[in-house]
Structure formats: structure tokens, C-alpha cells
Amino acid sequence: MSNRSQSLFNDTRVIPHATVAPEAALAVLSQREVNALCRGGNQGLTDLFRRCALAVLSTGSETDDVRDLFERYRDFDVSLVQEDRGLRLNLRNAPASAFVAGEMIRGTREHLFAVLRDILYITHELEQGVAFDLDSPGGITDAVFKILRNAGVLAADVRQGLVVCWGGHSINRVEYDYTKEVGYALGLRGLDVCTGCGPGAMKGPMKGATIAHAKQRIGNGRYIGITEPGIIAAEAPNPIVNALVIMPDMEKRLEAFVRIAHGIVVFPGGVGTAEEILYLLGLLSHPANAAQPLPLVLTGPPESAAYFAALDEFVRLVLGAEIASRYRIVVGDPHAVADLQADGIRNVLAYRDAHDDAAYFNWRFAIDQRYQAPFAPTHENVAALALSRDLPRHELASNLRRVFSSIVAGNVKEQGIAAVEAHGPFQIRGEPDIMAALDALLSGFVAQQRMRLPGRAYRPCYEVVR
């Protein structure tokens, strides 16, 4: 952790009271909508918003210890206030780092109301039971579309490519600098960036792209961050994000990435990044998606070559060499990465035009319901996952994705941490060769400090039973 990050982490100063009004999201509401928001009565919704709001306000502390964050600001509270002109938020004991000269930083304010916008919209639609049909694959995709549309990130008139960048929040300085170089190369080619919105490999590409966009005099660059309530406290939105979206759960977050992506770049990371890779490769291995073009590049500095070699070896062993043809590994060459993305994105847009698909949302991508259904990371559910090469390839990839998702929960999500403390590590069982490869991959993540931010001892929340 840098000296600046450490000082922010130790900074527990608060603003005793502040009132904040929306500027963009929720800026225009009817009296009926304001009344509905301010009635209260939904304690679960209130608690959820309070926790997500604190995560947004603590941006910059670069901690992934969610319980420590909530403990440090245990007196923080937020409430909605109705006024004739609309809606305001009353904050008590909010982190002082979110304010300058007594005023909330503008980007932080935008993120705060984006959280409120998405949580209220999703809750309202689920309670009404009309707009969202979560019992069918098509209905779930439609819900993902509506949430993204409500957040204003689906631009029908925008044709420049959007590159989704995945990678870890816990990466070293050399890897972080490399993500900035790739983002810079993408930005020079007029490409926009979408990430999981947090620090590390989620921040670096956006930072590089902003400089490149400025050089190219691109004033409407998009830096989209997509997160979900379970992860936002561990990966608070970085300040470059200018369009923040909160999805209901990890599965819909992953689908949102895939639906709006024109290309995907993967940087070094840990189990969260492995989860994303297994999710995407599982979808690409589905026969219905065989013809779908989607440029996928795995990249990092020369120092990360061994990381990608190990990941490639694992993928080839468990899913077969054929699926490895769907990605390219590029080491130490940001402009080659950007060229591959730019060329691939032209093919993606041409393919969608030829098939009358939307440029801004990939409707044709087939996503099986097993990839859409939320997976509860309980000990029983993890133990019941079948991990055998006798399964169809996309089913095995789905189950492996759930394994990695459970380890993420045990590492940084409050409920997952509590479950591991109460019942011990998750027990992972499966085919011996897969278990040996999985154990080696995870051990590498631990040795390279990819499980948690550096400076904190890591105790595995899992056990690979061999």
C-alpha cells in the first residue's frame, strides 16, 4: 500500500452533517416519486443504500477489508429528505475525504446518486413484478438491458468501440503502470473503457484513456464502471468513472459486461479475474456462440508472463486447447493490444450490422440460465459443485466460475467472510487432475499476493481436497 493510500486508510475524520442535492441522476423527479422514496418502511433497502453510500464516500482509501471500513465509520448514516424542489440526502459523520472546502466532490456526488438511482429502480421493479421477469433467460437479459438503459449507458448514436477491461484490484506497481499504458493506447484509437470500477487494473486503463482522449480532443470519453452491492465496499468506485452502474448481483454484472462489450482485455488479477475469464470462456464454448466475434486479449508486462502462462495452462487442461483459440496472449506491447482491439471491434460492429443486432447491446449472445442464476456461496453449495471433464465444457466452466466466485466471497464479501469464520474454509472437490491444477493456480495467486491488497496476511478461505 502506498504512503498516500495508507494515510487515506488511517484517516477517520468525518463531516458531522452535510446535505447533498442531486445534479444528474435523480435530478428531476415528480412529487409522487419523491413521496415514494421518502416514505421509508423498507429497512433492508435503507441498510443496503447506507452501506453502498459509505463505500462510494470512502473512495481512495484502497482497502478491501469491508468490516474494518464499516467499523471505522460505524456512526455514519444517510437519510432521504423531501423538498418542494425534489430530493436531498442528509449525511451524518461522512468520511471527510469526500469533501473539499465543505462541499462534496462533484464526482463523488454523482456516484452517490447513481447508487441511489439503481438501488431504488431495481427494488421498485422487483416489488412491482411487472418490468422484470427473472424466471427465464430472456427475461433476465431484458432486466439487465433495462437497468443499463435506466443508468443511461446505452448510447444508440455512439459507434466508437467500448473495451471492457478486467483485472485485479491487488496488483503491483509495474502491472498497474502497464494497465495505464494499454488504456492510453486504447484511448488514442478513440476507444472507450468499461471496468469493474474499482482500484488497480480497474482504474489504470481509465487513467491512461483520459490522457489519450485529451490528446485526441475527445471530450465525451466514456469511463463506465459496473459493480454490485456485494463487492462495492471492497472495490469502491475510482474517481475517473463517469458512468456508474449498480447491478443486483454478480451474475447480472457479468452479463452486463458481455452485453455491452465490443472487445475485452484481461490484465493480471486473482480469483475475481479468473471468475470473469471462466465466465466468458464458458459462454464462448457454447455452440450457439461459435460464430460470435469478440476480441479477447490477455495482457500484462513482461514480469507477468508466468502468470498468463499458468492461466493458459489451466484453461487448456480443464476446457481443452480449442477454447484457447478464442483469446490472444500479448506480453509487454500495449499498442499491439490496442490494434487487436480496434481491428476486432470493426469486425464486431460489421457482424452486428449484418445480423441487424444493436451496436450498443449484444442481444444475439446466447447465455444459458446457469450463468444467469445467482449462486449463493454456501459451504453446501460449493461442496456440491461437480468438477469433471465428463461434463459439457460450458457446464464445467460454469461450475469453476462458481468456485472462484465463492473464493471471492470468502476473501472480501462480508457474508462470505462470516460464513468461513463460522464453518471453516470452503471444501472444493473434483476430478484429481482438475484439483491439482486448481490448487497450483490458487497457490500462485497467494504467493503473488493477488488474493488481498498487500500489507495484510492472507489466510485461505478455501481448501482444495485432493
Does residue 60 register a pLDDT over 90?
Answer: no
- Residue 99 C-beta-side C-alpha neighbours within 13 Å: 16
Residue 41, pLDDT above cutoff 70:
no
Model confidence band, residue 109 (pLDDT cutoffs 50, 70, 90): very high
* Per-residue pLDDT at 438: 95
Task: Average the pLDDT over each of 114-128, 141-155, 210-224 and give the range with the smallest value.
Answer: 114-128
Q: How far apart are CA 105 and CA 436, in angstroms?
A: 49
Q: Which of 16-25, 49-58, 248-257, 260-269 has the lowest mean pLDDT?
A: 16-25
Task: Name the residue with higher pLDDT: 457 or 184.
Answer: 184
Confidence of residue 412 (pLDDT cuts 50, 70, 90): confident
pLDDT confidence tier of residue 9, bands split at 50, 70 and 90: very low
Residues 92 and 16 sit within 8 Å (Cβ to Cβ)? yes
Q: Which domains does the chain carry? A: 3-113 (3.30.1850.10), 155-354 (3.40.50.450), 369-464 (no CATH)
* Tens-digit pLDDT profile for residues 348-374: 999 999 999 999 999 999 999 989 999
What the block records as the C-alpha cell of 53 is 453510500
| CA distance linking residue 261 with residue 282, whole number of Å | 16
- Scored b (16 or more CB within 10 A) or e, 237-275 reads bbbbbbbbbbbbbbbbbbbbbbbbbbbbbbbbbbbbbbb
Average of per-residue pLDDT across 146-161: 88
Q: Any idea which residue has 493510500 for its cell?
A: 5
Mean pLDDT of 264-291: 93
**pLDDT the model gives residue 27:** 55
Q: What is the pLDDT of residue 114?
A: 92
Name, in order, each residue with C-beta under 8 angstroms of 229's C-beta and a sequence gap of 6 or more.
48, 51, 52, 119, 246, 248
Which percentage of the chain shows pLDDT scores above 70? 89
- Burial tier of 429 (Cβ tally within 10 Å: 0-12, 13-18, 19+): middle
Q: Are 322 and 404 in contact (CB under 8 A)?
A: no
